[in-house]
Chain A
Amino acid sequence: MWVIAGAGLRDVWSSSDGRDWVRSDAELPGPPRTASFAASHDDAVWVFGGKTSGAGGTGFWDGIYVLR
């Protein structure tokens, strides 16, 4: 089970039991973003898009990433 990024975050966590979580040393590329969506498919985790916020206002992130 994976938790990837979030508000102001690009971190990647995994857990096999929901209680103990392991943080990866790697981060999701691109700016911190919310509203990304992840899907498990073909033995990989796919991460799509997201919404960024900063001094310039809200923006959309168009990157698609696969973790395998």
Chain B
Amino acid sequence: MYDPLVVGVWPACRDDQWPIATPVLVHGNRFVMIGDGADPQPIYESLDGARWRATRTDADWGTRYKSADASFAGALWRVGGLEPRGEQRSYFNDVWRSSDGTSWHRVIAVTLWLPRAGAHLISFRDSLWLVGGEPNDGHVWSTRDGVTWVPHRDTGLPSASPQAVVVFNGALWVLGHGAGRRQRMTYGPRQMAPIGDECCLQRRGRLGPVRASGSPEAECG
């Protein structure tokens, strides 16, 4: 590892929407990104990360921003987010599911967790986990079906939304609270206490030179 290699550019699709600010999911054998902020919203798919195809969906969640997306149990999931309405913002706590990315079904309109945007949604140990977001209730939530959500209280996590949640070595990791203080903390799923911060960061190792390839032609639907 690891040479950062340029493999392509985002497709500038004909709807003039830049597909940005939503997670890129690995779903089966392909990358999937659900559009953010357009109505109706396209879904972008790619087999190689370079060539992208946009497909229009039937999702009627409106002009939704900062939802949390995940691939789980063979389906795509989208929860929460916000919709600007004049000077105000409406926050949501609904759950959407799609088996093909094109046809979407809202499995529940109002969940137990507080409406929020910018949360992290991730598949871990046969469940879908919701962490962070703004505003939030400080709990971590999990579900097996998208309808019934179980709160996990007393996690010890800060109320601020983290920068990343990942699965690694059979555990759920929450990273990067307190961006304003340039402080990085890492939490394991069980101890739920700081186990690392910037004082432990070490500079080692070397990487090879950066090289760039061409920019494959992007495809838009």
Contacts and interface: CB of A to CB of B under 8 A. Distances in A.
A26 B2 contact: yes
Interface residues of B, number: 50
Contacts of A55: none
B5 A65 contact: yes
Contacts of A62: 9-10, 12, 18
Contacts of B50: 64
Nearest to B21: A35
Contacts of B22: 37
A6 B163 contact: yes
Q: Is the interface of A mostly helix, strand, loop or mixed?
A: strand
Taking residues whose C-beta sits less than 8 angstroms from the other chain, chain A's interface range is: 35 or more
B18 A23 contact: no
Q: Which of B3, B49, B195 counts the most chain A CB atoms within 10 A?
A: B49
A22 B195 contact: no
A17 to B, nearest CB: 8
A21 B25 contact: no
Nearest to B186: A18
Interface stretch (B129-137, B144-152, B198-206): B198-206
Interface of A: 1, 3, 6-7, 12-16, 18-29, 35, 37, 39-41, 45-51, 60, 62-68
Closest 9 CB pairs of A and B: A26-B207, A18-B186, A67-B2, A62-B10, A19-B196, A23-B203, A21-B201, A62-B9, A1-B168
